[in-house]
Amino acid sequence: MIRLEDILAIPEKTGVYLFKKGDKVLYVGKAKNLKERLLQHYRQSEKDQKEKAIIVESERVEWVITRNEFEALTLEVDLIQLHKPKYNVLHKYGGGYPLLLLTEDKYPTLKVVRGQSQGMVFGPFFSVGKAKKVKRLIHKLFKLRTCDPMPIRKEPCMDYHLGLCCAPCCGYVSHDEYMLNVKSATSLLSGDVSSVLPELYLAIERYSKELKFEKCAQIRDQVLALENLSKGQRVSNIPIPNADIFYSMGKLLGVFLVRSSKLVDKQIILLDKEEQKEEVLLGFYYSNPIPHQVITNFELLPEVKEWLERRGRVKLDKLTDKALEDIIRENMGNHIDLNLLEKEFREKLCMDLPSIIEGFDVSHFYGEYTVASCVVWEKGYMNKRRYRRYRIRSVSKIDDYASIREVLERRAKRLKAGEEVMPDAWLIDGGYGQMNVALEVKRKYQMDIKVFALAKQEEMLLCEDGKELCLIDHPILYRVFGLIRDEAHSFALSYSRKLKLKEDTHHVLDHIKGIGEVKKRIIYRNFENLYELLKADEDVLKRMGINPAIKQEVKKYLEGDQ
């Protein structure tokens, strides 16, 4: 544990400090005055859980003196990315979001990458899944090669027959034709379709005269995709062409990506402290390419501006457009007035407003695939970073009480060990039976928290002191407790369904004649579950080398007619 006398020995100079436990770095920070900043950490540890954890877990503080605040900022960012400290928010957003890289080969293709790479990059994307979906769409539409590196073959691979590649490895496409596909893909990814559409129309005309109708149909699909993009499938007519917008609203930080005057993606981040917004921004651009314009609704420190400008040619602006701010605020979501909510808790529930409420629910399919969820409401917002899923281990039949006991005990052990932040309240989806189980767990682990249950019938909130409150008559409380219950239910149900669909698909295909290991892999790769397979067009299945009659075999098996 760090002692006050350790901090008093630190110089009053500009630099970077590191809280360490052994060789492990727990937290990195910068300061204009090292001693004063570290004294702030020490004072805040008396009332702030995170600050207390940093002080208690650390064995010593090390520091590096720098010539100015810009040097301190640069060193801080580099050290955070190097050590990935447990208590720094910056490293969570500085590993590099997924990007799509268009390679610089003779026959370019797309790769999902992180960080700076040679070639043209598109993104970032806020999830690997989204980046992979866009990559797959590009292969479907524009047939860019899927092999990397590109081999020389006599016969094309399966991806050619699946319609994902035009087989340049076999010479099935000329270099000029391939590069038109690359240009079209670039137009779709960048949102600028005007330069390539005329070329595609000319190609359709040329192939039509040559009676190459299959190629005409292929390019027609590309044209439709690009024209749909130009019409705008997301929020459009934003008065800026390309920019990243960072919008701070209390502890919420919204990151909005605008490309070709369209809002193409967003991420809403719940911070521990409002002051962390610049730390997230720095982490975001540590590995991601910086756009032509970055817009914020808060003032950036001079050293932050200098750091960003050294990363690339960028224009830094404050958000002043009222219409654009209205769009951004709408996309931040609806959030409750905490002062009003606090009044409701005191008047209706005779308690202070909780800072953290954890919600729990159990889901299963007739006693199988039993799972549970824990969702976290924190100071007015759902903190999705702290959601947890549990696969129930001790219950082999339908027993909601035993299932909720298992998940609550597993959660309680982590909370008591300090591995998670202790909540002020638990909300259990269910009636008095489920609430009594939660109360038993609370007493067993000596937890100083309130326990509520929300019965589905009549939306009745049950309190541990016996009080009952019909939430329909109290809409402000209903927004909070109803939201937590619905989030817990949805989170548990989606996990249970995912497990069932995944295991059912594997189980059923193992019992269908005519499906060997190769065809199984093709089905797993192209269909997320059996229902997608059953809905698939027969021509699509034939192109994959799968007999459409397999659909009937799957239906028979599912109906029990084996």
The CATH number for 291's domain is 3.30.420
Task: Tell whether 343 and 475 lie within a shared domain.
Answer: yes
* Dihedral sign of CA atoms 322, 324, 330, 335 in order: negative
Residue ranges making up the domain that contains 50: 4-88
In 407-499, beta strands by DSSP E? 425-429, 450-455, 460-463, 468-470
> Which residues in 232-320 belong to E strands, given as ranges?
243-249, 252-259, 262-270, 293-296, 315-318
* Mean pLDDT (whole number) for 539-557: 77
Q: Which of 225, 267, 269, 265 is nearest to 242 (CA)?
A: 265
Task: Decide if 244 contacts 258 (C-beta within 8 A).
Answer: yes
Q: Is the pLDDT of residue 369 over 80?
A: no
Same domain as 324, residue 344? no
Using alpha carbons only, what angle is made at residue 49 by residues 43 and 53, rounded to the nearest 5 degrees? Answer: 85
- Domain membership of residue 94 (yes or no) is no
Question: CB of 246 within 8 A of CB of 268?
Answer: no
Q: Is the pLDDT assigned to residue 358 strictly greater than 80?
A: yes
In the predicted model, is pLDDT for residue 159 greater than 90? no
Does residue 506 sit within a domain? no
Same domain, 406 and 531: no
Asked, for residue 524, whether it belongs to a domain, the answer is: yes
- Give the pLDDT of residue 296: 96
* Among 67, 88, 109, residue at a domain's last position: 88
CA atoms within 13 A on the CB side of 506: 5
Q: What is the mean pLDDT of residues 113-138?
A: 80
The predicted model gives 201-215 an average pLDDT of 79
One domain for residues 28 and 124? no
Residue with tokens 């699946």: 162
248 phi, psi to nearest 5 deg = -95, 130
User: What size, in residues, is the chain?
Assistant: 562
Boundary of a domain, candidates 300, 332, 364: 332
> Looking at the structure, do residues 105 and 82 belong to the same domain, yes or no?
no
Burial-class residue 93 by CB neighbours within 10 Å (0-12, 13-18, 19+).
buried
Are residues 484 and 440 part of one domain?
A: yes
Taking the CA atoms of 320, 326, 327 and 329 in sequence, report the sign of the dihedral they define: positive
Give the CATH number for residue 472.
3.30.420.340
463 within some domain: yes
User: Does one domain contain both 67 and 11?
Assistant: yes
Token pair of 42 as six digits: 């020490």
* Same domain flag for 555 and 484: no
Q: Does residue 500 fall inside a structural domain?
A: no
CA distance 495 to 485: 16
Name the domain boundary from 19, 54, 88. 88
Q: Is 176 exposed, middle or buried (0-12, 13-18, 19+ CB in 10 A)?
A: exposed
Tokens of 331: 């996309």
- Looking up residue 47, the CATH number of its domain turns out to be 3.40.1440.10
Query: Is residue 497, in this structure, part of any structural domain at all?
Result: no
pLDDT at 370 over 60: yes
- Please check whether residue 30 is in contact with residue 301, taking contact to mean a CB–CB distance below 8 angstroms: no
Q: Which residue has the higher pLDDT, 530 or 348?
A: 348
482 and 364 inside one domain: yes
Q: Judge whether 499 lies within some domain.
A: no
Highest mean pLDDT: which range of 9-23, 46-60, 280-294: 9-23
Dump pLDDT digits (tens) for 15-24. Answer: 999 999 999 9
Residue 38: closest CA among 1, 74, 4 = 4
8-state DSSP, 454: E
Q: pTM above the 0.75 mark?
A: no
Residue 237 in any domain: the answer is no
Calculate the average pLDDT of the chain.
Answer: 84
Count of helix runs (H) and strand runs (E) in the chain: 20, 19
Residues 6+ apart with CB under 8 A from 508: 530, 554, 557, 558
The alpha carbon torsion through 395, 398, 403, 405 (nearest 10 deg) reads: -100
Give the distance from CA 278 to its chain's centroid. 20
What is the 8-class DSSP label of residue 115?
S
Highest mean pLDDT among 252-261, 401-410, 515-524: 401-410
Is residue 442 located within the same domain as residue 476? yes
446 and 518 in a single domain? The answer is no
Between residues 253 and 452, the one the model is more confident about: 452
Q: What are phi and psi of 256, to 5 degrees?
A: -120, 130
Average pLDDT score over residue span 77-105? 81
* Token pair listed for 63: 């520091």
Residue 547, both tokens: 């007999």
Q: What CA–CA distance (Å, rounded) separates 145 from 451?
A: 57
Cis peptide before 98 (omega within 30 of 0): no
Q: Distance between CA 183 and CA 198 in Å, rounded?
A: 12
pLDDT, position 232: 46
Could you give the number of structural domains in the chain?
5
Give yes or no: residues 516 and 552 share one domain: yes
Distances (CA, A) of 490 to 330, 415, 422: 23, 23, 23
